Amino acid sequence: MPVLEDLNNTWTEKEQAEDAFAARAALENASMVLNECHIKLEEIVASGSFNTVPTDLKVALNDWWTIFKTARASILANADIMDVYNWRP
């Protein structure tokens, strides 16, 4: 029986490791998209004054971008997250 228990434990560890790396890949992808979005939005804001865009629309878009900037800043400020993000085998 100990061999079967070892096999089951090894399988469980393998499954959990695969899930952890799948989660890392998904979060890395989301972070890359967030960074690309941030760069694009900075370019858009720098491109004009937007004096013809309704104020409520500008406010809503800016609020949305602020949430993205907060998430991005939180990611960048977390050393453990950045270690996982930058890790390569």
Closest CA to 37 of 9, 8, 57, 67: 67
Grade residue 43 by pLDDT with cuts at 50, 70 and 90: very high
Average of pLDDT values for 2-14? 95
pLDDT number for residue 1: 78
Say if residues 72 and 34 touch (Cβ distance below 8 Å). yes
Residue 16 has pLDDT above 90, yes or no: yes
Average of pLDDT values for 40-61? 93
Residue 48 has pLDDT above 90, yes or no: no
The residues, ordered by sequence, that sit 6+ positions from 68 with a Cβ below 8 Å of its Cβ are 34, 37, 38, 41
Average of pLDDT values for 56-62? 95
Residue 79 has pLDDT above 90, yes or no: yes
Query: Could you state, in order of their start, the residue ranges of all structural domains in the chain?
Result: 2-86
